[in-house]
Structure 1
């Protein structure tokens, strides 16, 4: 794909022309033929933290796309330091495993999904990267071929978001609606106010998306809750809606967040708007990243007690990885041996510098 400057496309026109259903790409042999014609490699990255209960199921569901169909060239877990055996299970299932903190150490170490995605651009070899969350209970190959399909069909498309129905767990069982609460209560009103060109995205906060490397390596990544919003805003600003699409994956069943967790998530998302909306940017000067929320507990005498909890929720922004020197060097090598040698040399360099200091 030749990266071109942003060109305008109205949101209604985009919505009608760039919204697809995964069944359109169900002919995997056709996708493989298109992939070979383009001469591209496809990587699947799965960010994890203590996902031992489900990671094996996710890898088992996706592995046929690599072992049997040759659509995917690698499946890798990018782990934040799990303590429940997630990495061992992933290796046993045939996936590569990268521990995020062991890579690009000179750039600092953070622990969150966006950090793992940013670093995965350094670790994975694909020209197209597809990210899939590890907590999907109804995982199926269409979560991958549905997202990479539009890019294999149309070289002008470089970033594809998933959307789906998101059932929510309740005391009466799994309800057909109710997921995507932050999207409807916070993100959609904010998009309508500040980024109306993005209002056509049905699930802007969906955790599954795919992109071409030459687009992903040119945009910043927020390390936490804001990674999805930041990518939408920055990719549209740089490449325009013509480079973007969305695909209906039908239904996604996953672990639902508590209301308190969604509050922290919204607080992180708010920071993206402070960074990206010029009129709001002055508020960053005195911004306090400590998020306070009330909690209750039952005292020894059986009475309910109230107290305030605090948690730092700070959206740190990683720069476009294309400008990171270690990434530039690794990218220049074509085979895995030289890539591993690059990592070793950088580690030796860092260790020697540490001894001198």
Structure 2
């Protein structure tokens, strides 16, 4: 298995500098492909404008040879100025609740990624997180490029360094503690992915519409595993785009993320088997002295807080009647 992974790394790991923009534009013209970029966003007014501006100015010119054909911000219920800031920068903003309104929306990143397939038209769909700082157009062109130049490829993920404080590679804690061990133990053919949970990747619509989408934090792991089983390892690739800087979550948020990712993996390991209870209990210092686990009332201690783990998965989009009708039209 290690030999297979090493061979895959040699064949399917690239750098964003391998394919200059002129080559990508020529390949896009030759194939007649359309490229959609989707930015899922929830309260990202601080960073969304800069990301949209970079994509608009560097990849969406008035020329017919623009690399990106449409740019959609899928708003997941923001309560800040994410939507107006994104619109002012030049994106089309779509609210999650306005897509497929007959099906009430669930909270979660995977939910908006799934719904984005209904409001985009590209043959290639590129996703990128909306909290990135120092955003580079390479996050888009890097992962889209191999799909334009190699018809055998169906999904391409970005890989990068993730600094945390003074540690240049200290980010990605859930990846190292949860996702990477799970992949190495249960899907060792995917062990070569440097950033399996990374939010920057591109795929052919014909693949995405076949896959179920976990509604929450498990979406990236679920899509990667299901892409392996649907398309095969050689249809998957990764591209080095440098450094990724973004807002880091606190420890409790990472715990909830880890639980959702573990549940996504567990579901794929044991479909049809009874799963464990999808609830995560965490603890917070009971500063008001109201009591709780670990301490008596009036003496501080710890208070338990229970959180539901994201467990719902949306079906493959091609099974949705509205999507099938839109594609037929």
What TM-score do the two structures reach when normalised by structure 2?
Answer: 0.92
Choose the corresponding residue for 1:67, options 53, 61, 66: 61
Equivalent residue number for residue 146 of structure 1: 142
Residue 89 of structure 1: SS of its match in structure 2? helix
Displacement of 1:76 in angstroms is: 0.8
Task: Write the distance in 2 (CA, Å) between the matches of 1:71 and 1:309.
Answer: 47
Confirm or deny: 8 A CA contact 2:256 2:309 kept in the other structure.
yes
Displacement of 1:93 in angstroms is: 1.0
Equivalent residue number for residue 44 of structure 1: 37
What TM-score do the two structures reach when normalised by structure 1?
Answer: 0.85
For each residue in 1:196-219, what CA deviation from the matched residue of structure 2 results, as whole angstroms up to 9, or x when unmatched? 111111110111110000011111
Equivalent residue number for residue 7 of structure 2: 13
Equivalent residue number for residue 215 of structure 1: 207
Confirm or deny: 8 A CA contact 2:183 2:191 kept in the other structure.
yes
Displacement of 1:300 in angstroms is: 7.4
Equivalent residue number for residue 31 of structure 1: 24
Matches within 5 A, 1:235-250: 235-250=227-242
Asked if residue 288 in structure 1 is aligned to residue 277 in structure 2, the reply is yes
Equivalent residue number for residue 244 of structure 2: 252
Residue 67 of structure 1: SS of its match in structure 2? coil
Confirm or deny: 8 A CA contact 2:282 2:305 kept in the other structure.
yes
Residue 283 of structure 1: SS of its match in structure 2? coil
Task: Write the distance in 2 (CA, Å) between the matches of 1:223 and 1:36.
Answer: 35
Choose the corresponding residue for 1:266, options 258, 261, 271: 258
Confirm or deny: 8 A CA contact 1:218 1:321 kept in the other structure.
yes
Asked if residue 163 in structure 1 is aligned to residue 150 in structure 2, the reply is no
Confirm or deny: 8 A CA contact 2:114 2:317 kept in the other structure.
yes
Per the alignment, do residues 134 and 224 of structure 1 end up closer, same or farther by CA in structure 2, a change over 3 Å counting? same
For each residue in 1:202-243, what CA deviation from the matched residue of structure 2 results, as whole angstroms up to 9, or x when unmatched? 110111110000011111111101100100110100110111
My pick for the range that moved more, 293-302 or 91-100, is: 293-302
Task: Write the distance in 2 (CA, Å) between the matches of 1:112 and 1:150.
Answer: 29
For each residue in 1:94-114, what CA deviation from the matched residue of structure 2 results, as whole angstroms up to 9, or x when unmatched? 100111111112233112110
**What is the count of residue pairs matched by the alignment?**
317
